[in-house]
Amino acid sequence: MAEFENHAEFSVKSKSSSFFNRSLTLSNPTSTVSPQKPYLQAALSLDRSGSGSFLKLYNSIESVRSAGNAIKGKVKQLRSFFESSTNGEESQPQSQPQSQLLPSKLKPATKSIGSGSGSSTKRLPGTEDRIVVYFTSLRGVRRTFEDCYAVRMILRGFRVWVDERDVSMDSAYRKELQSVLGEKNVTLPQVFVRGNYLGGAEVIKQLFEVGELAKILKGFPVQKPGFVCESCGDVRFAPCDTCNGSRKVFDEDEDRVKRCLECNENGLVRCPYCCY
């Protein structure tokens, strides 16, 4: 009986010692943990099974945290870069004249038109008192139509009368533009002011944004707000009165039908009321 009690006491002590030894072995990794992370020590002390599940969870959390810190660092670098570039733009002197802000391609044209000291090599004779725009009203090419529409709206915003020459309504205008520019393939729109060649859509947009276009158009008569030609509706063309748009007239002397010489290939003439 005494031997049985001694054996039972010994087994209980061995189990308790093995249990405490296991907890000590689990708590050994905490010796390498910084004292600033007490949550890791608590997690390891709770891991009684010895599987290390809490330690794996801690490692995954630390990896996510390190990745987040790296992303924050990159964001800070990008933020500092953009802030420095913005500050550099704001630090530019405000007294710089607008003519220096224009591209180099625009300076000769604006100088010759605005100051009148020089003359452009490309001139449109007989238009020294007006603004001429060559454009198309067809929507065949979307980019071309959008550029033509944008330039027309910019010029109409100044309420000045513009001699709009639609090459899709009269092919003679395209031939005229090709002869003036000296090119067979010309892009639309093209703008002439006081007979001098100004440029295309990009040039007009840039001049308008920097305020130079208002200076170039200064001196032209201003129309009334909302003015629309009652004869053609600002189309600038009207049906021919001689042939009524048929392009054919009857010659009584020769007793045959001839081609009307008063209109273009579409049976149209320039509006006599708004085009002069």
| pLDDT reported for residue 72 | 61
pLDDT (tens digit per residue) in 252-274: 888 999 999 999 999 999 998 88
| pLDDT reported for residue 262 | 93
Percent of residues, the chain, with pLDDT higher than 70: 58
pLDDT (tens digit per residue) in 37-58: 555 555 556 555 555 565 666 6
Nearest-angstrom CA–CA distance, 112 and 136: 27
pLDDT at 36 over 60: no
Q: What is the mean pLDDT of the chain?
A: 75
Q: pTM higher than 0.85 for the full model?
A: no
pLDDT (tens digit per residue) in 134-158: 999 999 999 999 999 999 999 999 9
Instruction: State the sign of the Cα–Cα–Cα–Cα dihedral 49, 55, 58, 63.
Output: negative
pLDDT (tens digit per residue) in 193-227: 999 999 999 999 999 999 999 999 999 989 888 88
Per-residue confidence at 175, pLDDT binned at 50, 70, 90? very high
| pLDDT reported for residue 28 | 46
Percent of residues, the chain, with pLDDT higher than 90: 46
Per-residue confidence at 97, pLDDT binned at 50, 70, 90? very low
pLDDT at 11 over 60: no
| pLDDT reported for residue 51 | 55
Contact by Cβ (8 Å): 112, 195: no
Domains and CATH numbers, the chain: 2-53 (no CATH), 106-216 (3.40.30.10), 237-270 (no CATH)
